[in-house]
Structure 1
Amino acid sequence: MLIGVVIPVVIRQSIFGLPFYVTTQFATILGSAIAIILGYIGYRRMLLFPGISSGGYVITYLTITFSALVLIMFVLRLDYSRLQVASCYTLSVATLLFIHLKFERSREFLFSYVPGGLVEDLPRLPHVRWHRIETPEMVLKGEDAVVVDLHADHDPRWESAIAKWVLAGIPLYDARLAKEQLTGRVEINHLYENTLGSLNPNNVLLKMKSVVDFFMAALLIIIFMPFMAVIAAMIKIDSKGPAIFKQKRMGFRASPFTVYKFRTMFVASETHDVETLRQSAMTKDGDVRITKFGRLLRRTRLDELPQLFNILKGDMSLIGPRPEAVALSEWYESQIPFYHYRHIIKPGLTGWAQVNQGHVTDVTDVREKLNLDFYYVKNYSIWLDMLIALRTIAIVFTGIGAR
């Protein structure tokens, strides 16, 4: 309330000299305060599970309440400050997101679980105090929720107890959902109903995302063009060869495309041997092929900036699974089941796997990366994109996860 309501009022009063009791000002203050309170109540009611996607409730509920505020003001023909309402909304979302990321996600929850199936792995997961329900007759006290593997076979006594807990209003979650939300991974061994939500993501959402990507890429190119020109000149000074590196990578719906990057390695001789291409596409720790300036570019991820032109062309998105070299992608497909399903959405400049795991090439690590990619495919939302963008900015300054 202090940041979302009081600060905009103080700023507006200092600039325009409007006291808070002016009708327009008073309506704006009262409406914004009510919108924040109702948005916060909605967020708290939904914040039962301490998973990654829970932060999306902040954006969802504050957007709903502030939209309702504007609609009511319009219908009732009440005068209000549009700029101040927009400021209140923006500051409130930013503040509550900060509180959520800093405190709520680290809060420890108490979950009880029914023995059997996947739940036996759950007590190893963080941010939750796990309590095993030994018998169906056990009385539950103070649990935030009950977790049960709904795909496992339970005897009638457990089935009856589960139904009783649901009727008593105790939140009940499937073990797979619990594991996904606590780890940010979707592990796939077999494709079954609702594994990825849908094997073909909503085309309307994808098209909307493409429009946003186009305009954002165009804006970022205009902003960073002078900076990219300086980087290109530094690459040319540092080593012989072109400033831009081009490589065939696997794209949307498994269609190869040419990706652009700033060159970070010494120019190698051209080859068409599949094994050589695969090995050259793998970057190892301390790789001797990387130039001095190239190490800095890789550590800060600035070598990826030319991919803004790939986004402008429609080959890529700002956020999505990172595209792999064609030779590597074909090899992974032969080694890892379901690997090709990561191509059902456009590859991205940065992604969920990128900010959680960094660069990997080993098949075991790539399996883990695939679980992260599938989590993004299944749980795609504006909130998740915002979280990835924030973590990417942090990586640019820290260099964590680069090679």
Structure 2
Amino acid sequence: MFNKHKVFEKLDSSAWGGGESLLSGGETFDTRYERRHSRWYEQCVMGTPFHFVVGLPLVVLVPPWMVHGGNFWRGMAPELATTLWAVGAAFLVTLFFLRRMTRFPGTQASIFAVPLVSMVFAAAWALLFGAERLDASVLWGGYAASLVWFFIGYMAVQRLRRPRFAVVPLGDARHLNEIEGGELSRLEAPRLGAQRIDGIVADLRSDALNHEWIRFLTKCLLHGIPVYQLKQLDESRTGRVRLEHLADTELTSLLPSPLYSTCKRGLDLCGALLLLPLLAPIMLATAWAIRRDSPGSVFFLQWRMGHRGRPFRIYKFRSMYCDMKGKEFASGEDDPRITPVGKVIRKYRLDELPQLLNVLKGDMSFIGPRPEPVDLSQWYEKDIPLFSYRRVVRPGISGWAQVEQGYAAEVDDMAIKLQYDLYYIKHFSLWLDVLILLRTLKTIGTGFGAR
């Protein structure tokens, strides 16, 4: 007996599509089944090769031409040659990170191009400055050219490549009416007609999928049009793993990479050792302001639930009055327990700075699920299934839930927060951590997520 679920399980590992079409017996393609932006010139202009063929030469060659003239390559000094290699490497590193980071929901490459390019070129400058082999004018010219290239280029691509999906109106997909940042069209029959789309969205576990619809989806795959399970689209759109979508077998796949966990611990140590002396003046000024603002200790110490359920003591700057009682968690920006200085340091996350000591001790990471107080954590576990699973990775000073959701305390909000944390665990990687870091810097500047 034909079992469509077993057929789809083999194909539904990620986004379907992209495979080569192999037909035998003289079969021919139906030319009406075309994917948007599949023409060769569209693929060249909007794809990675365009960055290599056009962007890289412009960024590397234009700055030295403007600084040293058109004959800069004749008798090139070692400092200039090293700088040109550094500019090219920085351009490629930025491109690689941006391509990886744009896989995650809500990521606009044009917005994060500026801080990422700045970070990469600052690292290149630090390396070259230590070796005393650089042409500063060409290096910063390459920096400016990279900013213009990535910012304008990705902004144009975002406007041109607004995705368009066709929805199979069966099962839970019937309730899908809109998608953020994209367009949806509902199929009335198993055929596309003349429209060109980026992908098909379907509830592949629906019993309403008959043989005719299955043949249609297979035909789309053969023509290079990806077919997305409804759950996939929901996760990529919201950045959350819904608990009702977790199959029994999927829990075992939500295990972080041991290799990256080890590398991340090394990065945390290096980062904390580097930041502590740099941030010491800000921490001293914050401590002085707290002491002048209200009586009590400068620091707030609290037991939090840590990695694999091991409690640890977290260090924070005190932001509340010591002689006022209330709930065990802040009720928002209008909580009367928060001091005037506390409102400022909470808004710009300065109260979190002492947690650099927790990072050094190994209790925390820079990026990870936010640790909850022990008592509250036990309370959440009674009402929210899988809440304790977020401890499979080290808790963080900032995390995916913090930059996406902001502050959460009530049970309903914490259930949503868990979905964000599960998404982070499922996509545990350097690229997601860099994206969270950039969004955290944006949070510090705007105050979003203050609690």
| TM-score, structure 2 normalization | 0.71
1:135-177 deviation digits (Å, cap 9, x = unpaired): 1144252111112222223111111111111011112222211
The alpha carbon displacement at 1:119 in A equals 2.4
RMSD: 4.1
Match of 1:201 in 2: 256
Structure 1 residues 90, 175: closer, same or farther in 2, change over 3 A? farther
1:345 aligns with 2:398: no
The residue identity in structure 1 corresponding to 2:384 is: I
Note if 1:397 corresponds to 2:445. Answer: yes
Contact 1:345 1:377 (8 Å CA) reproduced = yes
Distance 1:377 1:85, change over 3 A: farther
The residue aligned with 2:358 is 310
Q: How does 1:136-151 map to 2 (within 5 A)?
A: 136-139=190-193, 141-151=195-205
Matches of 2:291 and 2:276, distance apart in 1:
21
User: Which residue is 2:423 aligned to?
Assistant: 375
Q: Which amino acid aligns with 1:188?
A: L
Q: Please report how far the alpha carbon of residue 298 of structure 1 lies from its aligned counterpart in structure 2 after TM superposition.
A: 0.6
Deviations 1:168-207 (A, max 9, x none): 1112222211111122111112632664672321111101
Partner of 1:76: none
Distance 1:43 1:293 in 2: 37
Give the SS at the match of 1:396: helix
Q: How far apart are the structure 1 equivalents of 2:426 and 2:437?
A: 18
AA partner of residue 429 (structure 2): S
**Residues 265, 125 of structure 1: alpha-carbon distance in 2 compared, 3 angstrom cutoff:** same
What's the offset of the Cα at 1:5? 2.0
Residues 1:134 and 2:182 aligned together: no
Q: Distance in 1 between matches of 2:89 and 2:187?
A: 41
Could you tell me whether the CA contact under 8 Å between 1:316 and 1:346 is conserved in 2? yes
Q: Specify which of 72, 75, 97 is matched with residue 19 of structure 1.
A: 72
Alignment counterpart, residue 325 of structure 1, candidates 355, 373, 386: 373
Instruction: Tell me, in whole angstroms, the C-alpha distance in 1 between the residues paired with 2:277 and 2:433.
Output: 22
Structure 2 alignment gaps of length 5 or more: 1-54, 114-133
Tell me which amino acid in the other structure corresponds to 1:173: Y
Q: What amino acid maps onto 2:212 in structure 1?
A: R
Identify the range of structure 1 (118-127 vs 333-342) with the bigger mean alpha-carbon deviation. Answer: 118-127
Aligned pair in 2 of structure 1 residues 283, 144: CA closer, same or farther (>3 Å)?
A: same
1:386 aligns with 2:440: no
**Which of 207, 211, 232 is the aligned partner of 1:156?**
211
Q: Secondary structure at the match of 1:248?
A: strand
Letter in 2 for 1:112: A
Tell me whether 207-216 or 133-142 shows the greater mean CA deviation: 133-142
Evaluate the alpha carbon distance shift between residue 343 and residue 47 of structure 1 in structure 2; reply closer, same or farther with a 3 A threshold. Answer: closer
Percent identity of equivalent pairs: 36
Q: 1:124 to 1:363 in 2, by over 3 A?
A: farther
* Paired letter, 1:237: R
Is 1:114 matched with 2:162? no
1:280 aligned counterpart, secondary structure:
coil
- The CA distance in 2 between the partners of 1:130 and 1:47, in whole Å, is 24
Contact conserved, 2:298 with 2:317, CA < 8 A, in 1?
A: yes
The answer for unaligned runs of 5 or more in structure 1 is 60-80, 271-275
CA distance in 2 between partners of 1:244 and 1:288 (Å)? 19
Deviations 1:5-25 (A, max 9, x none): 2455258749xx981355787
Aligned: 1:363 with 2:411: yes
Give the 3 Å change call, closer, same or farther, for CA 29–262 of structure 1 in structure 2. closer
TM-score by length of 1: 0.79
SS in 2 for 1:259: strand
